[in-house]
Amino acid sequence: MTQARATTDDTLDHPRIVILGGGVAGLAAAIALARRGLPATVVERDPAPPDDRDPFMEWRRRGVPQFRLPHGFSARTRNLLAEHAPDVLDRLRAGGIEVINLFKRLIPEELWRPSDDDFANLWARRAAFELALRRTAEAEAGVTFECPAVATGLSFLRTPGEPPRVTGVRLAGGGELPADVVLDCGGQRTPMPRWLAAEGVRVGADVQDCQTVYFSRYYRFTPGCDLPKTAVATLRGEADGISYIGFPGDNDTFAICFEGPPADEDLRLLRNTWAFEAAACAIPDVAPWVDPSNGVPLDGVQIMGGHHNVRRRYVEDGEPAVLGLLPVGDSLCTTNPAYGWGAAMALTYAFTAAACIGRHGGDPAAMAVAYEDAVGREADAVYRESAAMDRARIYRITGQDVPEHDRAEMERQRLIAEGVASGVLLDVELGRAFNRRVNLVGPADAVLGDSELAVRARERRKDFEADGTPTATAPGLRKVIRAARPGATV
Ligand SMILES: Cc1cc2nc3c(=O)[nH]c(=O)nc-3n(C[C@H](O)[C@H](O)[C@H](O)COP(=O)(O)OP(=O)(O)OC[C@H]3O[C@@H](n4cnc5c(N)ncnc54)[C@H](O)[C@@H]3O)c2cc1C
């Protein structure tokens, strides 16, 4: 393991780098930095993964509340790893994680194009994905782990007329790691804005509540399961106002997830196993997957709410708020988890941050500006798209009138949902456009950029409207959930 260096001269070409947080962004950044010859220390509050034990059940990851909630790893995630850290993909495959191109599986072979290869996803639970990153980072000579260790604040050098400059990361128990560059990879609940506010540094942020709660449960396919297992990836719908979605996992696992607004009292009952299973069994699409002859639960119901879309601004009008600090991953921008963009963006920011440090490590202002120039536009785009999709859903389920200022954007979102998404299995070009968007293969906001495609989407939308409202799935679902309560009388 390489120790951080201390001399001032070294900091110009070889900055001392501390990474706060060893989740997706922190681990990817550590790997990328090490491969550029830049040693880094990762400070992670949770213990290291256990050897030879199931990481899903046994890795204590209190710092990542979504650890056992379902994740789908987009094609962009896979493509970035293939480009920057192909050995992580090898590790994933060796651990039983499949790379699946569902788009190519669903269309006839004669329609395949070489660019369709960009749509391959990783089917893995979060634990398996993160473990592959962690083991790869651990194998790098340039990566040191301080783990478990809680970072409690930063130290700064103050020079009049300049933003404060980071000089170190303080640790619980009194130690401090000297640093020329700190990567904030502390995730969606990063303490960084709070620490900076205490120093009088204001970090601008756009924030919008996602208004959603997840209730999910993982299962393992039984050896006798005769369902077409890959079909779990296409399982999605809405029953009695509650959304459901299937997630394929690694090693014969899959998850069922319900999602809806936090104020929905029936939905909240799903935290109980009796309610969750009753709901799953009452939805015709979902029932076969949770039938004990096909799927056996791996754990209890996992719940997570409090999701927000957040875009933080550490550089405004070309001026960094603080020197020597780069926000990477969810700490820079968090989007609604339901859209599955978080891991891909975390890798994007991490690999870009490593490149910027490699180029500008000795000049913290140039480094901050180069990083924001490289990632800021896309962070803005994913934030805007995620927030707009959330508003479209919120207006719909609350029956709220769309305010004047939001009408054009809501119209655009409707065209994406009813003109593009609804045509995925009917028109191969709409299928490609939809896959580019959900997989972030290309900019998130470019889905209707091509005028020919916009025409096709409008045509498809007319058919969608002509089809009328589909028959409700499991219309009495809420009643079933309430009646499932032990001892309930209906
Ligand atoms: C319910 C849910 C479902 C999701 N599903 C998907 C999905 O399907 N697809 C997808 O791509 N993304 C999904 N995401 C998003 C994805 O989980 C995140 O985008 C991704 O983990 C971001 O990586 P990160 O490194 O920024 O943060 P994290 O992976 O959360 O890592 C943050 C790390 O910082 C550590 N830390 C924090 N504070 C300190 C401190 N003071 N000292 C030391 N360590 C600290 C934590 O312990 C943690 O290890 C989902 C998120 C949620 C909440």
Query: Is 45's C-beta closer than 6 angstroms to any atom of ligand 1?
Result: yes
- ∠ Cα 35 376 167 (to 5°): 60
In tens, the pLDDT along 411-451 reads: 999 999 999 988 888 899 999 999 999 999 988 888 887 88
The yes-or-no verdict on residue 11 having pLDDT over 50 is no
Query: Is 63's C-beta closer than 6 angstroms to any atom of ligand 1?
Result: yes
Query: Is 360's C-beta closer than 6 angstroms to any atom of ligand 1?
Result: no
| Alpha carbon of 130 to ligand 1 centroid (Å) | 10
Alpha carbon nearest to ligand 1 atom 21, residue = 24
Instruction: Give mean pLDDT, residues 354-371.
Output: 96
Alpha carbon nearest to ligand 1 atom 1, residue = 66
The yes-or-no verdict on residue 292 having pLDDT over 50 is yes
Higher pLDDT pick, 11 / 191: 191
What local confidence, expressed as pLDDT, does residue 422 receive?
87
- Taken in order of first residue, the domains within the chain and their CATH numbers are 8-206+308-384 (3.50.50.60), 213-304 (3.30.70), 402-490 (no CATH)
The yes-or-no verdict on residue 340 having pLDDT over 70 is yes
Report how far apart, in Å, the C-alpha atoms of 383 and of each of 66, 207, 241, 338 are. Answer: 20, 9, 25, 13
| Alpha carbon of 406 to ligand 1 centroid (Å) | 30
Report how far apart, in Å, the C-alpha atoms of 26 and of each of 30, 130, 235, 314, 356 are. Answer: 6, 11, 32, 18, 15
Report how far apart, in Å, the C-alpha atoms of 150 and of each of 17, 230, 312, 426, 481 are. Answer: 17, 40, 23, 51, 41
What local confidence, expressed as pLDDT, does residue 445 receive?
87
The yes-or-no verdict on residue 471 having pLDDT over 90 is no
Confidence of residue 472 (pLDDT cuts 50, 70, 90): confident
Residue 64 CA, closest ligand 1 atom number: 30
Higher pLDDT pick, 314 / 9: 314
The yes-or-no verdict on residue 87 having pLDDT over 60 is yes
What local confidence, expressed as pLDDT, does residue 447 receive?
83
Query: Is 21's C-beta closer than 6 angstroms to any atom of ligand 1?
Result: yes
Confidence of residue 7 (pLDDT cuts 50, 70, 90): very low
What local confidence, expressed as pLDDT, does residue 9 receive?
37
Confidence of residue 395 (pLDDT cuts 50, 70, 90): very high
What local confidence, expressed as pLDDT, does residue 1 receive?
34
In tens, the pLDDT along 141-151 reads: 999 999 999 99
129, 185, 311: residue to mutate for ligand 1 pocket, most atoms within 8 A of CB: 185
Report the percentage of the chain scoring pLDDT > 70. Answer: 97
Alpha carbon nearest to ligand 1 atom 35, residue = 21
The yes-or-no verdict on residue 8 having pLDDT over 60 is no
Instruction: Give mean pLDDT, residues 248-275.
Output: 96
What local confidence, expressed as pLDDT, does residue 13 receive?
65
What local confidence, expressed as pLDDT, does residue 489 receive?
65
What local confidence, expressed as pLDDT, does residue 490 receive?
56
How far apart CA 48 and CA 427 sit, in angstroms, is 47
From 10-19, 67-76, 318-327, the region with the lowest mean pLDDT: 10-19
In tens, the pLDDT along 200-253 reads: 999 999 999 999 999 999 999 999 999 999 999 999 999 998 999 999 999 999
Confidence of residue 12 (pLDDT cuts 50, 70, 90): low
In tens, the pLDDT along 315-339 reads: 999 999 999 999 999 999 999 999 9
